[in-house]
Amino acid sequence: MTLSDDLKILKEIDKEISLLNSAANLLWWDRATLMPIKAAEERAEQISFIAVLIHEKTTSKELSRIISNLSKNITKLNNIEKAIVTNYSWKLSRINKIPKKHIAELFKVIGLAQHNWEIAKKNNDFKLFAPYLEKIVELKKKEAKYIDPRGNPYEVLLQDYERGITLKILDETFNKLKRDLKTLIEKVKKSSKYGKEFNLKNIDFSIEIQKKVCQEISTMILDDNERFLIAKSAHPFMTKISPNDLRVTTAFRNDPLFSLFSTAHESGHALYEAQFSEDLKYTILHDAPSLGIHESQSRLWENQICRSKNFWKYYYDSYKQAFPNIKNVPMEKFYESINIVRPSFIRIESDELTYNMHIIIRYEIEKALMEGKLKVKDLPRIWNSKYKKYLGITPKTYSEGLLQDSHWSQGSIAYFPTYALGTIYSAMMYEQMLKENPKLEQEIAKGYLQFVKAWLRDKVHKHGATMRTPEIIMNACKKNLDPNTLISYYKRKFGEIYGF
């Protein structure tokens, strides 16, 4: 067959895999938002069935032959074709080592695990979920061994989310973050303002009005309402059904800031998916090169934009109209209230400064699980001891402790570090935006967000997975992964709020 024939077949296979992933994502979204509770077992089978189909297509002899042939003729391909072949070559080097039977078993267990995690969380019953987590850990260890029998199992799994990031890089980055965050948190606690901040959580807010505000926030970030949908779920998330069907979910509390910042966060993910180059549609490249860089987009909109003083200079009057019960609260007091630093149990409800401590705790625990240094039955004790050591608090229930996140029930072990990496990347990107546009914060204060969207589109989004994360970060930010940029941002922001 000619190169042209192989490229044509590759394009067809690539599109088929993309369409199957769309169907799977729709099933996952429906399971989290609308599915009747008794449908859990059948849904697990449906998702498992599609996962096997995707695995079969991806591991087919035909695709392997095509990628092998095109790899030998890589210099004859255009840049997009080269990137497609390179991405598939790396993916096949991993997935071809995993038996189809293992994939089917894993996804069936995951489907049941997630259902039972939700019940366990609701009923504060870790023992209900523990057997499913034990099975997932066992299967993920097997998966890592299939891929690289000699590699560290956690580092092997990490490559699925953050290719090229090693445990050495994570340990060095997180150890620095731990030290610097501990110092900053202690400075906040010693501030005369600590414990005296105005707290919005003492005020009642209508859920119906929260929904309207969330739609407003999402529209500010995404512009085009005809491609996006907001729904309610137990845990906020974003999923792509297709390039023109991007689903954002949020969750509602009496605290209106939770839904607002969750919506901003997930809308940041959706904007990334919406701004991929049209040339990448229905290819393996219509994706981010890593979860860390995807997370940087959500964290940037949530924190650098929507938690900033300048954003609220623009939006606060509209917000007060939606919630008249804060009409007498000055903007400065409101700004302080949305940036209160207070160690807390729930990761997704934590403040910006302590957030990464939650990630570091999860990283250390799941790494120990995968390395065989920790057993599932010992999780409650280890979880509580680390929260006491790093944040000075001890969860009173499983639901506010180790059952709070859905990731492990989904088999997403080694996922958590991407949140911290994304937080660092977001600070680096915002710093570079300010260098390139010194008037940016004045523009944000007027509600003008187009520079941010255009900068992200041109420097990050449009490239999809045509480049690796380190290359995108270097091109966009003019430097490599740098936790010092994040710490400097925290020092400026919280030093101003707490007076140190």
Half-sphere exposure of 345 (CA within 13 A, CB side): 15
Task: Tell me if 479 sits within 8 A of 169, measured CB to CB.
Answer: no
Residue type at position 9: I
Task: Tell me if 372 sits within 8 A of 98, measured CB to CB.
Answer: no
Q: Give catalytic status of residue 41 as yes or no.
A: no
Please write down the long-range contacts of 455-459, taking CB distance under 8 Å and 24 or more positions apart.
455/429, 456/271, 456/272, 456/275, 456/297, 456/300, 456/429, 457/275, 459/429
Residue type at position 262: S
Task: Tell me if 486 sits within 8 A of 421, measured CB to CB.
Answer: no
Q: Indicate the Cα dihedral angle 357, 362, 364, 368, nearest 10°.
A: 170
Cβ count near 64 (within 10 Å): 15
Measured between alpha carbons, how far apart are the two ends of the chain, in Å?
A: 69
Structure-block tokens of residue 58: 């991806």
Half-sphere exposure of 19 (CA within 13 A, CB side): 7
Phi, psi of 151 (to 5 degrees): -80, 160
- Catalytic one among 143, 155, 266, 273? 266
Structure-block tokens of residue 39: 């449908």
Distance CA 123, CA 156 (A): 34
Q: What is the DSSP annotation of 426-448? A: HHHHHHHHHHH-TTHHHHHHTT-
What length does the chain have?
500
Q: Indicate the Cα dihedral angle 436, 442, 445, 451, nearest 10°.
A: -30
Q: Minimal CA–CA distance to 292: which of 156, 442, 414, 444?
A: 414
**Where are any strands of DSSP class E within 233-334?**
238-242, 245-250
Task: Tell me if 489 sits within 8 A of 427, measured CB to CB.
Answer: yes
In whole angstroms, what separates CA 346 from the centre of its chain? 16
Residue showing tokens 């919406």: 274
Element (H, E) at 230: strand 228-232
Distance CA 457, CA 360 (A): 30
Which positions are catalytic? 266
